[in-house]
Structure 1
Amino acid sequence: MTNPVHYITVTAPDGEVTGYAWAGVGVDDVEWITRNASSVSAYNASTQWYDRVREARDRGLTPLGVLNLLSHEPGVGPVMEAADAAVVEELARIVTPADDQRLLDQLDRDDAEAWRGLGDAFDALTDEDRDVRWGGGQKSPSGAIHVPFPMYSQGVDRAVDALRRVGAVTPEHRWMDNPVPTPSPEGTLRPADAVRAATAVVRGEKFCDGTIDKALKSGLLDAVVASLRAWYAEPAAALPAGPTTAGARTEVPEARRLPDQDLPEPPDPSSPMCRFCGGSPAADVAFRAHRGLVVLMGFRRTDGPMCLTCGLAVYRALTTHTLAWGWWSPLSLFVFAPLTLVRNALAVRKVKRLPAPGPGTLGPRYDPGVPVRRRPRAYIALVPVLWVLFMIVTGLSGGV
């Protein structure tokens, strides 16, 4: 059994996909996933998009409302439907030819001396260089055990530095977010994967001692250098294709665009959208509620663009609240409750002049319910008033 999801694709101005926002059916949240192979600039842009997704969600929109709202932004694709979240995760793992080329562009082809140094350094590695010795591990007199660490030879250090000099170690590959490429059974790597592997190994050594040692013993570094040297000698030469990063596909057939009847039409940009449902036209209004609590008072305000339907719902709810609880202090009785009712009556006139709203794009539309005069809560304040009048009439009658 699958759990269908909806998602949007976000691209940078140059067309590079930065990530995907998606929401599952029946799940009350929107997730953001960054494309693993994206550039540094696209990755930085994706963090801003994550914030925009959270801001839209904080407005109280439904998950599909968030996706539909953002789908009208420049560089964002239409809302699509997929069988489950795994499809979106697979999309985020796609590696494109442009991703490969971006990594190859980091290599400094013009520095012939650096490339000679790379070949010389690896050709000069001896068996002793490759048999890395480890220090530490002994117990001190205090009982503490020193953490083991690799002691690389000058030859290994020279070889690693040569990889940096030719540009094979680059921040354009986010190695923590991607698996380390492995050579083919023939021991070859594609040039772009050689850059990925070099970056992962050299930078990974700072976080995990022995990463370079492991790459030397497994033959990964030899495959990296062989691929880079072949590319430098003949960049157009086709090497046997080795495994690339996981999910290097160009399409996911399980994804489909939602039909037009599943999504409302985008709102007219010249007309404000209702803050609650996304319908238009809408009027910028403010409705208030007041509550008197003998010596304390409470105030509430709801403002922003509202369509006819949602505006009537807010007006009726806040006005009914004021009629029920807005009289229970002296200032409330003579000042704040009447003022609140008058301001609401003026504001609702703007809403009532609006035509019926178009389809909502952000979420469910509020139900206005019955008019205020047909709501029993609006007459709660009459109970004590009638009781006082009854007592007055009774007193006067008794005194006659």
Structure 2
Amino acid sequence: MAEPRPTHENNNMTDPVHYISVTAPDGEVVGYAWAEPGADDVEWINRRASSSSAYHAGTEWYRRICEARERGLTPLGVLHLLSHEPGVGPVTEAADASAVEELARIVTPADDQRLLSQLDRDDAEAWRELADAFDALTDEDRDVQWGGGQKSPSGAIHVPFPKYSKGVDRAVHALHRVGAVTPEHRWMDNPMPTLRPEGGLRPADAVRAATAVVRGEKFCDGTIDKALKSGLLDAVADSLRAWYADPPAAQPAQSSSPADAPPDSGRDRRLPHPHLPEPPDPSLPMCRFCGGSPAADVAFRAHRGLVVLMGFRKTDGPMCMTCGLAVYRALTTHTLAWGWWSPLSLFLFAPLTLVRNVLAVRKVKELPAPGPGTLGPRYDPGVPVRRRPRAYIALLPALWVLFMIVTGLSGGV
């Protein structure tokens, strides 16, 4: 799917919105921040199918957006400021806010694989129990009886509740045992998967459905009953059993266009991610951030000295020229700004960190421009270190040392 761009077929169309995409170090897209024309604030949306760690990272990014706004920056200024951070894509135009929200609904193959990795293939006994539990379900088990609903002598009406049989409880417990009920699927933020027109569920959708049905029961009585009557719970078990028996055969081909899915399916669109073009040559090392190649195995460091405390940070791994420059400039600028404020930092750790970064950046500068990435948006290197005001905080300790030297020499005359 191409990057959304504004069209100009109608001169009365509203101005496009601007957005940035935020990517975790492992390449997973965390979410999107955008600003509408004339808006007073920056909006943030987590990607629905993201991992739990990416969801928590999104909370941190929202906090950073709020802090940037408190500094008095305009919404577009906030986006431009954050676009220079590692893991953030450039400021891009979209036709409207709904186009950005559509990006947040994209489900990638990596999302499916993450859910399937929650399944415990090594526990053969748990998978036998899953098969036995669902095979043993009877018509009586599926015909769930309800209790409550009657009026007490005081006039209060008891809330109706389902009375699940031991067979149903056994089947639900079996889903837990194989790992099909997982916190990696945020079921409240996503629609309930539905059966495909030809019947059945994709294995990853089976995990989504199992999680939504079992956990949803705690919030809405009768969710399991409804899934039993509709055949959804049986489809979950059938899909999981087929995947366990033969994972490749259980994975149907994924649609590349939402037009291939029925309009009322209620399922998330499974589109190729806009930042996922054709994969590069697998024989070349891939950048750990964007997946582009060629890449060099390098390590960049940052140091902070705070009187008696010191902090060290290291980012290493294969990096392409673009992402490597971005990391180098970000960590070097951080060291130049904050790496001098303790004696050991001033005379040892900060200079050593800067020298090591200069030696490491030579490797990435020798690389040609990287090819298309496969993991997410490429880091924006931003302006060179010499054009970043924060880098010149280093002049303060340098001038102080010079002053001490001059004062000492003057006193000795």
Tell me which interval the TM-score lies in, with the shorter structure as reference length: 0.5 to 0.7
Q: 1:250 aligns with which of 252, 272, 278?
A: 272
Match of 1:155 in 2: 167
Distance 1:61 1:131 in 2: 60
Distance 1:85 1:199 in 2: 30
Match of 1:318 in 2: none
Distance 2:85 2:173 in 1: 45
Match of 1:4 in 2: 16
Distance 2:205 2:213 in 1: 12
Match of 1:132 in 2: 144
How far did 1:156 drift?
0.2
How far did 1:4 drift?
1.3
Give 3-state SS (helix, strand or coil) of 1:236's partner.
helix
The letter for the 2-side match of 1:113 is E
The letter for the 1-side match of 2:243 is W
Match of 2:193 in 1: 181
Q: 2:37 aligns with which of 8, 14, 25?
A: 25
Q: 1:193 aligns with which of 197, 202, 205?
A: 205
Match of 2:374 in 1: none
TM-score (norm: length of structure 1): 0.64
Match of 1:57 in 2: 69
How far did 1:161 drift?
0.3
Distance 2:252 2:147 in 1: 39
**Which runs of structure 2 are paired with 1:1-400 in the superposition (5 Å)?**
1-240=13-252, 245-251=267-273, 266-270=382-386, 273=389
Match of 1:361 in 2: none
**For each residue in 1:326-345, what CA deviation from the matched residue of structure 2 results, as whole angstroms up to 9, or x when unmatched?**
xxxxxxxxxxxxxxxxxxxx
Gaps of 5+ in 2: 1-12, 254-260, 276-380, 396-413
How far did 1:266 drift?
4.5
Give 3-state SS (helix, strand or coil) of 1:237's partner.
helix
Distance 2:89 2:33 in 1: 11
RMSD: 2.5
The letter for the 1-side match of 2:68 is A
Distance 1:200 1:190 in 2: 15
Distance 2:99 2:273 in 1: 10
Match of 1:331 in 2: none
Distance 1:244 1:238 in 2: 22
Give 3-state SS (helix, strand or coil) of 1:156's partner.
helix
Given that residues 5 and 84 in structure 1 are in contact (C-alpha distance below 8 angstroms), is that contact kept between their aligned partners in structure 2?
Answer: yes
Given that residues 108 and 273 in structure 2 are in contact (C-alpha distance below 8 angstroms), is that contact kept between their aligned partners in structure 1?
Answer: no
How far did 1:146 drift?
0.4
How far did 1:25 drift?
1.3
Distance 1:15 1:144 in 2: 55
| Identity among equivalent pairs (%) | 76
Give 3-state SS (helix, strand or coil) of 1:10's partner.
strand
Distance 1:98 1:240 in 2: 15
Distance 1:146 1:3 in 2: 55
How far did 1:281 drift?
8.9
Gaps of 5+ in 1: 254-264, 275-279, 285-400
**For each residue in 1:181-220, what CA deviation from the matched residue of structure 2 results, as whole angstroms up to 9, or x when unmatched?**
1011222110000000000000000000000000000000
How far did 1:249 drift?
1.4
How far did 1:123 drift?
0.5
How far did 1:28 drift?
1.6
**For each residue in 1:276-328, what CA deviation from the matched residue of structure 2 results, as whole angstroms up to 9, or x when unmatched?**
xxxx999x9xxxxxxxxxxxxxxxxxxxxxxxxxxxxxxxxxxxxxxxxxxxx
The letter for the 2-side match of 1:191 is P
**For each residue in 1:235-285, what CA deviation from the matched residue of structure 2 results, as whole angstroms up to 9, or x when unmatched?**
1104556868423212469xxxxxxxxxxx9455445549xxxxx999x9x
How far did 1:27 drift?
1.1
The letter for the 2-side match of 1:84 is D
Given that residues 267 and 273 in structure 1 are in contact (C-alpha distance below 8 angstroms), is that contact kept between their aligned partners in structure 2?
Answer: no
